[in-house]
Amino acid sequence: MAAFSVQRADHAAHHAAIHGVRQQVFVVEQGVPPELERDALDPVCTHVLARAADGAPIGTGRLLPDGRIGRMAVLPAWRSRGVGEAMLEELVRAATAAGLPHVHLHAQLPAADFYARQGFIPEGGQFEEAGIAHLQMHRTLGAAAAIEGLQAAVAVTTAVIHRARRRLWIHSRQLDPGLLDAAPVQAALRRFATRAHDKQLRVIVHDAAAVQAAGAPLLALLQRLPSVIQVREVSDPVDRALASACIANDGGDYYFRLMGHRLEGEAGIALPSRSQPLEQQFQRVWDRSRDCSELRALGI
């Protein structure tokens, strides 16, 4: 994969490169009216500019003073190569450095899953902007965010899985039908489990027989990749009484539900001070639980 770099860019000094990318993506490719591509806010925004190894501009985005991220654009030849993710993270870092409590954006519908993987939670319904369908999304910075409803739960679960480096933990009584088998979550799990580096997914369940009878999609992945995915069933009476559910990774991201049969809970992105105690609790329960070797032999 060709190398690229992402840096913050002063609008006055780099306006030609910034607007060159935006003109190509928004005006030429998407048919946005040229007068909507630029506005009076550009000079007061924090901009990022992605460049190829030869210095050619390939992507850009901006952060408004109120925390709104916008004008995210990557040239077609550079999409799905990590450019958008790198730009978005640089804008989030800029917002964090500025002391903003959250960032938000209007995601074009085809890009909503991309933003969800980066920890942005959808809110409200669809709306049109410049003749294109969008969805409002936000990400809380430096604090936990309340999660309500299936849409938000799927988004944050996908983010925790996608952002995992090498370790991922799931504690779910019966693998949360409707959540862990949602298409974006399953896609994230497959990507994590099949990455070409050392990784580990540990799963704790409360009723292995019920999980087996339900034929949860995660079990098919377990059967194919038993060295990556391990499942244990709680055996200690204290652990069996636990009603909570949690997913956490080794990057400081988590989604915790005090009542595991409900989706309402709290989530944190890049909050190791909150995720590490959950990981420690998970490890204690894991050490007391039994290995579910029978699940590896499922004919599914």
**pLDDT at 300 > cutoff 50:** no
CB atoms within 10 A of CB 113: 17
Q: How does pLDDT run across 127-186, given as a tens digit for each residue?
A: 888 788 899 999 999 999 999 999 999 999 999 999 999 999 999 999 999 999 999 999
Per-residue model confidence (pLDDT) at position 296: 74
Residues found in the chain: 300
Q: Whole-angstrom Cα distance, residue 114 to residue 66? A: 22
Helix axes 149-162, 183-193, angle to 10 degrees: 10
Angle 163-168-170 from CA coordinates, rounded to 5°: 120
User: What are 281's two structure tokens?
Assistant: 């609790």
* Helix boundaries (H) for the chain: 11-22, 34-37, 83-97, 112-117, 149-162, 183-193, 208-214, 217-224, 237-240, 272-288
Query: Which domains, ranges and CATH numbers included, belong to the chain?
Result: 4-140 (3.40.630.30), 145-297 (3.30.870.10)
Least confident of 31-40, 50-59, 181-190, 203-212: 31-40
Using CB atoms within 10 Å of the CB of residue 11, give its burial: 0 to 12 exposed, 13 to 18 middle, 19+ buried: middle
Burial per residue of 246-272, b for 16 or more beta-carbon CB atoms within 10 angstroms, e otherwise:
bbbbbbbbbbbbeebeebebbbbbbbe
Q: Whole-angstrom Cα distance, residue 203 to residue 201? A: 7
**Band of the pLDDT at 212, cuts 50, 70, 90?**
confident
Least confident of 72-76, 211-215, 269-273, 276-280: 211-215
Q: Whole-angstrom Cα distance, residue 189 to residue 180? A: 9
